C-alpha cells in the first residue's frame, strides 16, 4: 500500500527521532537504520543516491529551503505554514512483514532487501512521471525538472507494536526546473500517479520476494496487493492491532452517521470518518529494541500455534541465500566519514544487495529463467486485459490507470524491481496503441496541458454508452412506470421530502421515460428520494427491484425501497446464467422498475445488460 501526507517545516524531526546513532546500536536492535537519499534531483543539491541522510541536511532542505552544502536559497522561502514536502509511505503486505518477523537472519535480510528494492523502483517511476512544476500566473504552464529529491526512512513496526515493514519517502516540494529556477512540485501529478506507483511497488515486491526466497502469492486484489501463500490468516489478524483499533473507532461513527442521514455513506464520506479514526487512535510512536520485539512476536505467534519453522514450511521457503552482499550503504557515518556518506559496514551486516537475488533452487539462478509465463499472461495478453480493466473501473481513464492494471496483472516471474518497472512501461505502451484504446482528447487546465492530461476510453465502453443513449432517446415519454398525479400529490408531505426531492420524485414517476437519471451531491438525500419513488411505484402496482454496486449500499437501498434488492454483480451473474439457458431468471417484466443506486460507480458495460433484460 502507498499512502501520502503533506509535511511542514518541523515535520522532519519525527523521521530522525528513532534512528540509531551508531552502527553498533543498529545491529543491537536499538533504533532504525538511518535514512538514505534517492532521486534524480540529488545532483542539484550536492547529494548522492544511497548516501546517509543527516539531520543538518534534512533541516536545510525541509525546514529552511536551503542548499544543504552551500546554504543558498532554493527558490522562494518556505512559509511557516507551507507544505515543504510529501510523506509517501510504502507498506508491505502483512504476510511479508510476518515472514520477516519470524524468519531467520538470512531470510529476514532478503525480505528487507526486496522491500527496499521495490520502494526504489516505485520512486523511480514517480521520478519519471511526476517530477514536474508549473510557472506563470496561476501556474498556467507545466515545466519539466531535473528530478525529485527524496529522503527514505525504513521502519519495522507499527504504532501498535506489530511487525510492519514500511518506508517513509520524504519528497521535497521543490524541483530545479529546466530554466534553472527552483519551484514547488506540481503536486497534481504526484497524486495522479500515486495509486499506480503503489501498485508498481507491490508488483516489484512480489517479484523480488519470489526471486530471492521462492515464495508465491495469493490473488492480487483491486489495489494491486497480495499476501504470501502459506502465511495463515490468524497471523494476519493477530498482527493487525492498529487496523482493528481504527475499525473499532470508525464503525460506530459510520453507523451513527448512516442512521442520522437515513442512507449509507459514500466512499468519500467513509474515508473521511476513517481518517478521523486514524488520528484519534494514533499513539506516540515507540522505538523499542528490535530484540525485544522479536521475542514478543515469537511468543504471540507461538500462542497462535505458529513457530518460525512451521511458517517456513507453510510458505515453501527455499534454501537461504548462500552468501550476503552489502546493499548501498545505510549505516551511520563513522567519526571520519564525510557528512552524508556512510562509514565502514560491519562484516556481520545482514544486508543484501539488489544483485544478490538467489533462487532457492541454486545460487544465482533466477526463477524467471526457470518458469516462462504461460501464453495467457504474455505481454500482449496482459496489455489487452489491463486496458479492459481500466475501462471497467473508469469510463474515461489515463495512462496511469492502465499502468496500475498492468502492474497488478503481470505474472510474478522473478524480475528484478528495475526490470519490473521497465516491463510495466513497455506493456502499458502496448496497451495504449491497441485498437480498443480510443484517445478522446485532453482535460487541459491552463495554457499547456499536463503530462497526465491525455485520456482514453475503450471501444466497448463507447459502444455501451451509445446503446444507453439510444435506449434513453427511444424510450422518452413512452408511458413507462407512470404514476397518476393524484397519487403523487400527498407524497411530499407523507414522505417528508423537501421541494427539490419532491420534484425529483415527480420526474422519476410521472415522466413516463424508459430511462431516467437522478444526480445530486453526496448528502442531498438521493436514497431517500429513490425510496419515495419506489413506494409510489409499488402503490401503483409495479414491482421495484433495487440494485447497487456494493452489499452495504444494497442494504441501505433495501431499507429505503422496502423491496427486493441485490448487488449489481450478483444480478448480472444470474442474468448471464439465464441468457445461457441455465436455471434462474432476471425477474424483469413490463410491470417492473429497476432502481440502480450509485450508477455513476458502475461501469458502462455492466449497465448495458439492464437495457436488454428490461
Query: In this predicted model, what pLDDT tens digit does every residue of 351-363 receive, in sequence order?
Result: 344 444 443 333 3
Q: Which residues pair with 430 in a beta bridge?
A: none
Kindly report, residue by residue over 269-327, the tens digit of the pLDDT: 887 877 777 677 666 666 667 788 889 999 999 999 999 999 999 999 864 443 333 33
Between residues 51 and 373, the one the model is more confident about = 51
Between residues 195 and 601, the one the model is more confident about = 195
Q: Which residues pair with 443 in a beta bridge?
A: none
Highest mean pLDDT among 21-30, 103-112, 196-205, 447-456: 196-205
Reported in sequence order, the residue ranges of 511-591 that DSSP labels E, i.e. its strands, are 543-548, 565-567
Containing 167, the helix (H) or strand (E) segment is strand 163-172
Among 36, 62, 38, which Cα is nearest to 124's? 38
- Model confidence at 611, pLDDT cuts 50, 70, 90, reads low
- Residue showing cell 452517521: 257
How much is the pLDDT for 389? 93
pTM, entire model: 0.78
Average pLDDT (225-232) is 96
**Taking 70 as the threshold, does the pLDDT of residue 170 lie above it?**
yes
**What integer best gives the mean pLDDT of the chain?**
81
Q: What's the gap between Cα 101 and its chain centre?
A: 24
Locate all alpha helices (DSSP H) within 28-150, ordered by sequence: 55-58, 94-102, 105-129
- Model confidence at 330, pLDDT cuts 50, 70, 90, reads very low
Average pLDDT (593-609) is 75
Domains present along the chain, CATH in parentheses? 2-354 (no CATH), 375-458 (1.10.10), 475-613 (no CATH)
Among 216-225, 392-401, 601-610, where is mean pLDDT lowest? 601-610
How much is the pLDDT for 109? 94
The dihedral sign for the CA sequence 254, 255, 259, 262:
positive
**Cβ contacts of 408 within 8 Å, gap of 6 or more:** 199, 202, 203, 220, 224, 389
**Taking 70 as the threshold, does the pLDDT of residue 370 lie above it?**
no
Kindly report, residue by residue over 490-517, the tens digit of the pLDDT: 766 666 788 888 888 888 888 788 888 8
Kindly report, residue by residue over 474-483, the tens digit of the pLDDT: 877 777 888 8
**Taking 70 as the threshold, does the pLDDT of residue 584 lie above it?**
no
Kindly report, residue by residue over 14-32, the tens digit of the pLDDT: 888 766 544 444 444 556 7
Kindly report, residue by residue over 392-429, the tens digit of the pLDDT: 888 899 999 999 999 999 999 999 999 999 999 999 99
Burial 236-274 (b: 16+ CB within 10 A, else e): bebbbebbebbeebbeebbeebbeebebbbbeebbeebb
- Model confidence at 436, pLDDT cuts 50, 70, 90, reads very high
Containing 304, the helix (H) or strand (E) segment is none
Kindly report, residue by residue over 89-121, the tens digit of the pLDDT: 999 999 999 999 999 999 999 999 999 999 999
Amino acid at each position: 500500500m502507498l499512502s501520502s501526507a503533506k509535511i511542514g517545516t518541523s515535520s522532519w524531526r519525527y523521521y530522525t527521532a528513532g534512528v540509531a546513532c551508531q552502527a553498533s546500536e543498529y545491529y543491537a536492535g536499538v533504533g532504525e537504520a538511518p535514512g538514505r537519499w534517492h532521486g534524480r534531483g540529488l545532483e542539484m543539491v550536492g547529494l548522492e543516491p544511497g548516501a546517509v541522510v543527516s539531520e543538518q541536511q534534512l533541516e536545510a532542505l525541509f525546514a529552511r529551503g536551503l542548499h544543504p552544502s552551500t546554504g543558498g536559497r532554493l527558490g522562494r522561502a518556505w512559509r511557516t505554514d507551507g507544505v515543504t514536502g510529501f510523506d509517501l509511505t510504502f507498506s508491505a503486505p502483512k504476510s511479508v512483514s510476518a515472514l520477516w518477523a519470524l524468519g531467520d537472519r538470512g531470510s529476514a535480510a532478503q525480505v528487507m532487501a526486496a522491500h527496499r528494492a521495490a520502494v526504489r523502483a516505485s520512486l523511480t517511476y514517480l521520478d519519471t512521471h511526476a517530477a514536474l512544476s508549473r510557472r506563470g500566473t496561476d501556474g498556467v504552464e507545466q515545466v519539466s525538472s531535473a528530478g525529485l529529491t527524496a529522503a527514505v526512512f525504513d521502519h519495522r513496526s507499527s504504532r501498535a507494536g506489530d511487525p510492519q515493514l514500511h518506508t517513509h519517502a520524504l519528497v521535497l516540494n521543490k524541483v530545479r526546473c529546466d530554466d534553472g529556477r527552483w519551484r514547488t512540485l506540481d503536486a497534481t501529478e504526484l497524486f495522479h500517479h500515486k495509486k499506480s506507483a503503489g501498485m508498481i511497488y507491490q508488483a516489484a515486491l512480489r517479484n523480488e520476494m519470489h526471486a530471492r526466497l521462492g515464495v508465491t502469492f495469493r490473488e492480487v486484489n483491486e489495489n494491486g496487493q497480495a499476501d504470501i501463500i502459506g502465511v495463515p490468516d490468524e497471523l494476519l489478524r493477530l498482527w493487525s492491532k492498529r487496523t482493528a483499533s481504527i475499525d473499532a473507532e470508525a464503525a460506530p461513527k459510520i453507523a451513527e452517521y448512516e442512521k442520522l442521514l437515513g442512507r449509507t455513506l459514500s466512499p468519500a464520506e467513509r474515508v473521511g470518518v476513517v481518517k478521523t479514526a486514524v488520528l484519534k487512535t494514533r499513539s506516540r510512536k515507540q522505538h523499542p529494541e528490535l530484540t525485544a520485539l522479536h521475542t514478543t512476536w515469537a511468543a504471540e505467534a507461538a500462542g497462535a500455534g505458529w513457530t518460525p519453522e512451521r511458517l517456513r514450511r507453510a510458505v515453501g521457503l527455499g534454501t537461504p541465500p548462500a552468501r550476503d552482499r552489502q546493499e548501498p550503504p545505510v549505516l551511520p557515518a563513522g567519526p571520519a566519514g564525510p557528512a552524508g556518506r556512510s562509514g565502514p559496514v560491519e562484516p556481520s551486516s545482514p544486508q543484501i544487495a539488489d544483485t544478490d537475488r538467489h533462487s532457492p533452487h541454486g545460487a544465482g539462478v533466477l526463477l524467471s529463467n526457470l518458469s516462462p509465463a504461460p501464453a495467457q499472461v504474455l505481454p500482449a495478453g496482459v496489455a489487452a486485459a489491463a486496458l479492459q480493466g481500466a475501462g471497467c473501473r473508469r469510463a474515461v481513464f489515463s495512462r496511469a490507470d492502465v499502468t496500475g492494471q498492468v502492474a497488478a496483472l503481470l505474472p510474478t516471474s522473478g524480475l528484478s524491481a528495475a526490470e519490473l518497472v521497465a516491463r510495466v512501461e513497455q506493456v502499458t505502451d502496448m496497451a495504449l496503441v491497441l485498437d480498443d484504446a480510443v484517445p478522446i482528447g485532453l482535460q487541459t487546465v491552463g495554457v499547456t496541458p499536463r503530462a497526465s492530461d491525455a485520456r482514453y476510453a475503450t471501444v466497448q465502453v463507447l459502444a455501451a454508452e451509445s446503446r444507453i443513449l439510444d435506449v434513453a432517446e427511444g424510450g422518452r415519454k413512452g408511458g413507462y412506470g407512470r404514476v397518476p398525479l393524484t397519487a403523487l400529490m400527498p407524497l411530499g408531505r407523507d414522505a417528508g421530502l423537501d421541494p427539490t426531492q419532491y420534484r425529483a420524485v415527480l420526474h422519476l414517476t410521472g415522466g413516463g421515460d424508459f430511462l431516467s437519471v437522478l444526480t445530486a451531491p453526496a448528502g442531498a438525500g438521493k436514497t431517500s428520494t429513490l425510496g419515495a419513488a419506489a413506494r409510489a411505484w409499488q402503490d401503483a402496482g409495479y414491482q421495484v427491484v433495487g440494485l447497487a454496486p456494493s452489499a452495504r449500499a444494497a442494504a441501505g437501498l433495501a431499507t429505503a425501497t422496502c423491496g427486493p434488492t441485490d448487488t449489481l454483480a450478483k444480478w448480472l451473474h444470474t442474468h448471464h446464467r439465464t441468457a445461457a439457458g441455465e436455471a434462474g431468471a432476471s425477474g424483469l417484466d413490463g410491470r417492473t422498475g429497476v432502481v440502480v443506486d450509485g450508477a455513476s460507480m458502475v461501469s458502462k458495460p455492466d449497465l448495458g445488460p439492464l437495457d436488454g433484460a428490461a
